[in-house]
Amino acid sequence: QVQLVESGGGVVQPGRSLRLSCAASGFTFSNYVMHWVRQAPGKGLEWVAVISDDGSNKYYADSVKGRLTISRDNFKNTLYLQMNRLRPDDTAVYYCVWGLGHWGQGTLVIVSS
């Protein structure tokens, strides 16, 4: 059974950093592309970033380029999102998505002073 469990969300001040994690199980993590998708309160879905199976290729939405970094540890079956220089408009539920087919339950990040 596929499980994607995000963690690391919380309340953070503007300009600070946060690292999200997504623990994956139930599939061969190292064989698949992984995505982060976010959803601001009351808004639609926004694709954030994608990483290749071996971590060598990464792509980002323009809105997060240079501030958010996707990475993975295939030994720990874990996906990460390092979030730097956070802004209030980064406030959202962040979802980890396996190959665009399976979604975690999300972790809420609130950027506020």
Partner 1 sequence: QAVVTQEPSLTVSPGGTVTLTCGFSTGAVTSGHSPYWFQQKPGQAPRTLIYETNNKYSRTPARFSGSLLGGKAALTLSGAQPEDEAEYYCLLSYDDARPWVFGGGTKLTVL
Residues that bind partner 1 (CB under 8 A): 35, 37, 44-47, 50, 59, 61-62, 95, 100-106
CB of 88 to partner 1, least distance (A): 21
Nearer to partner 1, 1 or 113 (CB): 1
The side-by-side arrangement of strands in the sheet containing 3-7 is 3-7, 18-25, 78-83, 68-73
Nearer to partner 1, 83 or 93 (CB): 93
CB of 47 to partner 1, least distance (A): 4
The tokens for 29 are: 């993590």
Residues 64 and 84: their CA atoms lie apart, in Å, by 10
Nearer to partner 1, 13 or 52 (CB): 52
Contact between 34 and 72 under an 8 Å Cβ cutoff? The reply is yes
Relative to beta strand 10-12, strand 107-111 is parallel
Nearer to partner 1, 14 or 99 (CB): 99
Report the 10 Å Cβ neighbour count for 44. 6
CB of 86 to partner 1, least distance (A): 21
CB of 100 to partner 1, least distance (A): 6
